[in-house]
Structure 1
Amino acid sequence: MIKGKHIIFFFLIVFYSGFSQVGNESSRVEIKGSVQGKENSIPISGVEVSTDRGEYTITDGLGEFRIKASIGDMLIFESPEIETVKHRITSDEDVDVLVEGYTVKRSNKKEKSISSRSISNHQRFIDSANVYKSTDLEKSIDFIAQSMSQLGKRGNKNEFASSLTALGEIYLFHSQYDLAITNFEDALEHRESSKTKLLLGKAYILNKEFEKAKSILTPLLDVKNMVPFQKVELYESLGDAHSASSNLNEALEFYQAGLKIAQKNQISPKIIDLNSKIADSYAKENRLVEAEGFYNNSLNLSKKVAPERVIQENEKIADFYNKENRYEDEIQLRKQSLSGLLQLPQQTVAEENKSSLSPDSITSQRINYKIANAYVAQDKLDEAIPYLQRSIVEADSEDDLVVQKDATRKLSEVYRYKGDFSKALETYQEYVAVVDSLYVRKEQEISRAARFNREIVSKQNRISTLEQDRQLSQSKYSLAVTEQQLFEETSKRQKWIIYSLIFGLILMALTTFLYYRNSKQQKLANNLLALKSLRTQMNPHFIFNALNSVNNYIAKSDERSANRFLSDFSVLMRSVLENSEEDFIPLSRELELLELYVKLEHSRFSDKFDYEINIDKKIDIEAFEIPPMLLQPYIENAIWHGLRYKEEKGFLKIEVNQINKELLEITIADNGIGRKKSAALKTDNQKKQKSKGMGNIKKRIQILNDMYKNKVDVAISDLEEDQTGTKVSLKLKKD
């Protein structure tokens, strides 16, 4: 989809004069920038931006990014769409990356616009989901569902996999490990990704599926293009999986391998994590000296970063001292943790207390409770009482019923050990009240959790429907593979039979089509041949009748009339011969010929009839076409068989009227003797032979209507009720 063989990176630097470029590892800055095409300024989303110290982000739908880094860190840009490039950070400058030759292929402008818009919206919804990931699970899932709906059925596996991976991360953050695993696995079905496999491995570990974690993570050791931070995470996750499986030697090997990479690339947070986990592994093996050494390393390193991290490491080492019954060392470290908590900004403390109050959470009430326990373990009951009381007060103010319950019960036990039974009873009653409150809260939490789980399931079902087609297709494919393995030979025979039947049906359909087409073409050819034959029959018939008229003039010795008649007749014959090869001619030309023909006949039988030709002036006669010589036989019949035998002078009327925009009516009416009387006057020979002209006309109309879908319609009737006169009505459709 993308051509990017050559990439030029331009780093646009904004300077503020008066400031020197001095920095060290502790000077943290926020680096902003963008990644886009050089020639067309198309934003490139999904580019992984990381530092060699472990910071990580991706470009959003507008190709923009923000990342925390230190002066001197290496900024790394990675994506399947561009070449990997590194840039050393020297100041808090903006970094704009312009990619030369970056184009997006589209089949047309409309597709380009639609696809670009859908991709941009897809990434925007994922960005929104990440924003709400830690604060609003429902809204975050809704954004993921919207990002998937943007893709429709485009079949873009990469973008669909991105949505599923983001959804898995959301579930992972909220400890919904089963749902996280399901979405990570679905994402991997659409696109193989080292990042997704790492996340899936972590989810397996958190869900206590350690063997599955090993199976998904171990192959990643052979991947060569992983960034250092991902490589460290891989070794750390493998170490966690082996440690949880009690394979401590293997866990230590992976932790130490990850530590080497982290130290080489100066990834400070991971250096602290791995020192601490190596210490945990040594402690499990009862190698206390090594464990304490690595604990001290993690503590010393944490002092160079955020104060919150120092408190975490203090508490971890204090727990280690507690297990080793080194209570004084434990108490000293926990007091340092209390002092550190007091020095933290109030907003940070509030955020810590707002988080889930699990047994591993670090709060002042819990630390006070642990200090009191250390004193009780040494039988220093008087020293323990103030810390228990402070723990109870702080837990009550923070609404931490778990610590309040434990501290109240412990205080009651301390009073009982000292022999102060009245205070012990009073404190125990307070403990019972706290337990009752805790039970009520637990019931409320269970109810909320059930409702919350139902909402999550509902939203997950909504997302599942978006890939229903893919799942159905995958199920059908799996079923087909299973059946193929069980009945391979039978399936082959069935396929051959099916293919043969399909081939036979196709061959039969093709034969039928060819036969139908040939039959239709043959019918058309026959019709054309018949029309041509009928036209050639009509022309001699017309000439024969006309020559009879000339012969009549010669017989009368009327030379001038014969010459005039022959002159008009030659004009008429020339036009008739020119039109003889045409199926249709303009109606205007046909009417001109008819007028000339009627004029010739009138010159012969001027004593027998007069005529009139009326054409509605509103009619666009040029827009209509008519078969040549179609009207002439009807006029000829009217003159020769109707008007000629009338005792008094008759009248021939020809009218052209428009019925509607698509239909004309041509009427030929004579007040002659009528069809019945004309038939009675015929000789026996005339009765045996029908008029050649009329027979040809009927055949022509039949063929033309068959070819041109009822273009011409003719109706013949008596003009008067006494069966005298004849009326011919011809209706003609426009093309």
Structure 2
Amino acid sequence: MQPIHTYSCKKGLLPVFRRTIRYVVWLLLLVTVSSVYAQTDKKAKKTSSGSTIHTQAVKLSESLEQSASDETVAGDYIELAKELADKKDYARAEDYLKRALTLSLKRKKNDQSSWVYRELAKVQEMQGRMEDAIENYRNAARLAADDTQKLLNKNDAARLGEPLNLTAQSAYIQQNIDLAANSNFVPEQISARRQMAEVKLAQNDNQGALEELEKALEESESFEATQDVSFQIKQEIANTLVTDKKHEEAIGLNKELVDEARRTNNPKTAVKQLQNLATSYFEAGETSDGISSLQDAYNTAIEKGLTLDAKKVLEQIVHRYEKERKTSQALAAYSDFIGKLDTLVKNDSTLVDEKFFRLQEDKITQLEKERMLKDELITKKNRYNDVLLASIVLVLISLVVILKVLYDNLRKNKKIALQSLRREMNPHFIFNSLNSVNQFISENNELEANKYLSSYSKLMRTIMENSNKDFIPLSTELEQLREYLELEQLRFSDKFTYTIHVDEALDTDSVMIPNMLIQPQLENAVWHGLRYKEEAGILSLSVFRKEKDVCIVVEDNGIGIQKSRELKTAHQKARHSRGQSNTQERIGLLNHLYHTKITMEIVDKSGEDTGVVVTLCFPRIDRKKVE
């Protein structure tokens, strides 16, 4: 310990001189520190302190610089906040916890968000901002992953809501101690015991406070908590011993803490513990030893280049000297500090560390702005992509709707065209039938006329019942064809006979065939082939299965197509041509509407065996599809 030289001064000038000296010290300290900050700016950029705070700050900067995930950056914010809180830098710790909270809420990580809310409430409580702390304890409870965490936070919120009710506070804290013990949450258990010690001190239960702190210390050592936590608990024990007037025990514990700080090469903590030791001496009435401890703290701060710590210790020394009316020693202490100030500041690594940390904070802030800008750009891009995708989907849906409407309209038009073509055949049939009735009446053959009209009306009723159907059962079609052939036989009684043969393997009720597609072929056979024969002709209708198709063959032994054309008038030729084209158009429409494949083949037999063979084939039609 270096001695501080003394000198005398006139008594009347002492108060003014002391104030002047203090102002000079502050001014010199301000100017010197500013100068050192300017000179060490480049050095700070290259220097990284060994402290975990600076390590975490660098790690956070690197994560932001490398565009790490939100999860990684949030974790780095939390780790830096922990280190700052351990060093009692609660304002900065709160700032980084809020940044971590923003990312946790963004990622919808309720478990992490709950933990951050709780830590945020703790640092706000340490700053005396109880309303904010209560709100965040409640937020933590709301997002808690389990009932234990939820109850821990609810109890803390309730505890802060009872600032004057120490009994209620004690009950809430005890619940948290029990909850933490049952769930093996040792850090929470330690924290709750330290809170309980504060309440017991407020209740003047010094012994109870000591017991809680000793339990907390035991738990921290068994849990291998951080050195800072154990050290803080020991200091709280020492302070409680002082409050309980157990000065010798307090002095002994503070000496142990000084030795521990020096053993772990922690000069800043050693200076703080020497100050605490001095306080214990002063409380015990041992002023000389107290001043000696302060001088030891001052010399340690000077030796280790701790400018601000040295200044604080100096003020305590001066205060004690003034209290003991040792003015000359007080002035000598100021003089000694001023003389060493320039060298002290230049050698103060903590100032460089502080500058380094501020540079890191500036860098972190800038990187956060860049990250935010990048996120905004990504958000805008995603929003643009979403709008573009939605527009494309909307256009596609519109196209599908338009195509569906067009397809439905086209299909509807084709069905109308199909019905029109089918009904086009009826007037010709009706005209021929009425001519036959007229012929019967002119020949005074009323009986035959009545018979013909009866069969004709029955056939027309059947035709009209099915007029709106594109496909009808084979059994219905065969019934219509028989009725039609019977009418034609009445008209041309001596011109032909007919046969109908149906494959027994076919279920005529389930097989669906095109409506009114066969009748025109029978009509052509009778009117254009058989009626011109001198002798009676034969007309046959056969229905059979051919692989997967159903085929219908209409065959006659009439005069054939070629000779029929030679006998026809121009009008008859046009009518016959229109009948065939009508049939072909209907087949084309049916194939398109029902995605089927109906075929028709017409063969004009040559040689002595004259006549025509018409073959219609179509695949089996699903009844549900066409009904």
TM-score range, shorter chain: 0.3 to 0.5
**Larger helix percent:** 2
| Higher relative contact order, chain-length normalized (CA < 8 Å, sep 6+) | 2
Tell which structure's C-alpha radius of gyration is larger. 2
Structure with more strand by fraction: 1
Q: TM-score, normalised by structure 2?
A: 0.45
